[in-house]
A and B are shown apart, each in its own frame.
Chain A
């Protein structure tokens, strides 16, 4: 039919491909939640190396879901949002755990969680402005999220904890301010832009 349409020059109807929410990529994303009780157990029992391993697995699964989405061709707007929400929950809980058990300084953790909550709120404002489920694509925030995963690892491993945490606060503040301007002031694109991150981008999240 499409071939006929091409030959005759008649326009073809382009229907958006529907992707089930129960797909392999979202399953990988959801599996990240399984690392949280293990992380909690390791922190409670003072197992620094195991805690580091579990947060490392959580971070690797974050990279794996993007790969799975590409292999099985099951990218979706819901998947993007689910991935962003999972990042927020996993890394938020991880930060709270390391701060609560005295493995990380409380003040920068409070700043980071506050800025993260602000950024999440801005994303909802952006969705309201757009009038559809749309994930604000921020290259800088992808890097900040990756750094947040590392932050928990620095705390569990006892690696230059104060340095990494205090260096993170101004970096995240700059990115949140930049994204706030983009989400609140700049015009919302009329259609969902084709996200074409550079090939091999190490910080690229599932998109």
Chain B
């Protein structure tokens, strides 16, 4: 069974993690920005706001992890 060379596998992992994490963080940032005018007392809006904030946190964790994986941090 053929496996990828280590360098290619590392690059693939970096893309799958880093790019997805960055897109995810930006996407949730946009979504949370869109909620600025929404009713703050609405439980659904509060839940969405919290969820998107956690999405941004997870995205940042993914970006930092990818940078560490590649020896940047």
Chain A residues packing against B (C-beta within 8 Å)? 47, 49-50, 52, 56, 137-144, 146-147, 150, 153-154, 157, 159-160, 163-164, 167-168, 171, 174-175, 178, 182, 186, 193, 198, 200-203
- CB proximity of A111 to chain B, nearest CB, Å: 16
Chain B residue at minimum C-beta to C-beta distance from A137: B47
Main secondary structure of the interface of B (DSSP, over half): helix
Q: A164-B65, A201-B27 are in contact. Are A139 and B34 (CB under 8 A)?
A: no
Contact between chains at A182 and B47 (CB < 8 Å): yes
Contact between chains at A203 and B55 (CB < 8 Å): yes
Chain B residues packing against A (C-beta within 8 Å)? 1, 3-4, 9, 13, 16-17, 20, 23-24, 27, 31, 34, 43-44, 47-48, 50-55, 57-58, 61-62, 64-65, 68-69
Contact between chains at B27 and A202 (CB < 8 Å): yes
Contact between chains at B68 and A198 (CB < 8 Å): no
- CB proximity of A80 to chain B, nearest CB, Å: 16
Contact between chains at A171 and B57 (CB < 8 Å): yes
Chain B residue at minimum C-beta to C-beta distance from A163: B65
Name B48's contact: one of A139, A150, A175 (CB within 8 Å): A139
